[in-house]
Amino acid sequence: ACSLLRSPKGFPKLKNDTFLRAARGEETEHTPVWCMRQAGRYLPEFRETRATQDFFATCRSPKLCCELTLQPLRRFPLDAAIIFSDILVVPQALGMEVVMVPGKGPTFTEPLKEVEDLLKLRQKVDVTAELGYVFQAITLTRHSLEGKVPLIGFSGAPWTLMSYMIEGGGSSTMAKAKSWLYRHPEASHRLLRLLADVIIDYLVGQVAAGAQALQLFESHAGHLGPELFQDFALPYIRDIAQAVKSKLKEEALPLVPMIIFAKDAHYALRDLGHASYEVVGLDWTIRPQEARAQIGKDVTLQGNLDPCALYAPKEKIGELVKKMLEGFGTQRYIANLGHGLYPDMNPEHVGAFVEAVHAHSRHINKH
């Protein structure tokens, strides 16, 4: 299905636009649903495709990214696809080396230690030269989807990427990265600005390549409190949405809906609702009604079933989905998990989740 011999434009007509309609706040017959990390290790076919190949080499192969993106759609009636890639391709574009270490995860061979290390980063990034492989994967996948569902592009947000670049990988405290915010605020802003500028060009390039929606992942928001978030995360989150939109206009590209997912950032929901994103993604630790009260009626919400709920028996998953839909309401809402799928999850339970969203939301809409 993923052959590179298609023209870059002249994309197939979209057959199921439920996800895009919900993102824009238009009425939908059923609540659309997709899952973070739906192209992932819980699928045996994913493990098989990935087995022989280094992780980042896979990210750099448009054909493999296309295949991995399409796999979950062959199994489940999902309402959106999200391109298979990784948020750490942006630090790579800045010249940093990241390797995937089995059992440990992504690891930077030389993390940023001192402020002087910022000088080692590329100050001007040509995203087409550095990240063109992602654009190719998007174009190829958009053709190969044959209009089945919309394709979502994404990026990590500046603070989340900065925290990886300084920590050198995952961390339970983010103490090294946070110490920069307290000890070197100016240098931190320099780094965050550099990241934001690259992310803006990267996201615009994804739309030019065929992405029909964009999600910004501020996965490490929970390590910041309200003050640090206000100073070091929110201004860049806001700026990215506004700059992407104005560049899309300038370049006569489609104005696609944008989603902000700031994990564990309850303290900032009101601000995120006013940050120029059409959709605010929620993790599983907040009640739908509370989120709606803070974010208001003019923004679509996305989320937020606890991923671990998928370990429950299928009937129980159905009950939890029904409760979630009653909490959010079926309109101005995109169903999802409150974080990504885990590698040991049963694909059948993912199917039960997707089908329950469709069945219960149709039922609620009729009555």
SS3 label, residue 260: strand
Tokens describing residue 136: 């190719």
Which residues have a Cβ under 8 Å from the Cβ of 199 and sit 6 or more positions away? 90, 155, 156, 157, 158, 216, 240
Query: Residues 231, 237, 240, CA angle at the centre, nearest 5°?
Result: 130
Q: Which residue of the set 86, 117, 231, 306 is catalytic?
A: 86
| pLDDT tens, N- to C-terminus, the chain (367 residues) | 677 655 557 999 999 999 999 999 999 999 999 999 999 999 999 999 998 899 999 999 999 999 999 999 999 999 999 999 999 999 999 999 999 998 899 999 999 999 999 999 999 999 999 999 999 999 999 999 999 999 999 999 999 999 999 999 999 999 999 999 999 999 999 999 999 999 999 999 999 999 999 999 999 999 999 999 999 999 999 999 999 999 999 999 999 999 999 999 999 999 999 999 999 999 999 999 999 999 999 999 999 999 999 999 999 999 999 999 999 999 999 999 999 999 999 999 999 999 999 999 999 999 9
SS3 label, residue 358: helix
Q: Which residue of the set 17, 21, 50, 142 is catalytic?
A: 50
pLDDT at 4: 62
Name residue, tokens 């240098």: 187
Residue 230's Cβ-count burial label (10 Å; 0-12, 13-18, 19+) is middle
Whole-angstrom distance, CA of residue 7 vs CA of residue 11: 8
Q: Which residue of the set 60, 79, 142, 164 is catalytic?
A: 164
In the residue annotation, 6 being an active-site residue is answered as: no
Q: Pairing between strand 300-305 and 279-281?
A: parallel
Which fold does the domain 17-366 belong to in CATH?
TIM Barrel (3.20.20)
State how far Cα 257 lies from the chain centre. Answer: 13
In the residue annotation, 37 being an active-site residue is answered as: yes
For 330, phi then psi, to 5°, come to: -90, -10
In the residue annotation, 86 being an active-site residue is answered as: yes
Tokens describing residue 349: 């339970």
Residue 103's Cβ-count burial label (10 Å; 0-12, 13-18, 19+) is exposed
Whole-angstrom distance, CA of residue 276 vs CA of residue 236: 12
Residue 119's Cβ-count burial label (10 Å; 0-12, 13-18, 19+) is exposed
In the residue annotation, 50 being an active-site residue is answered as: yes
pLDDT at 193: 98
DSSP 225-252: -HHHHHHHTHHHHHHHHHHHHHHHHHTT
In the residue annotation, 238 being an active-site residue is answered as: no
The Cβ of residue 192 has, within 10 Å, a number of other Cβ atoms equal to 22
Q: Which residue of the set 21, 37, 60, 292 is catalytic?
A: 37
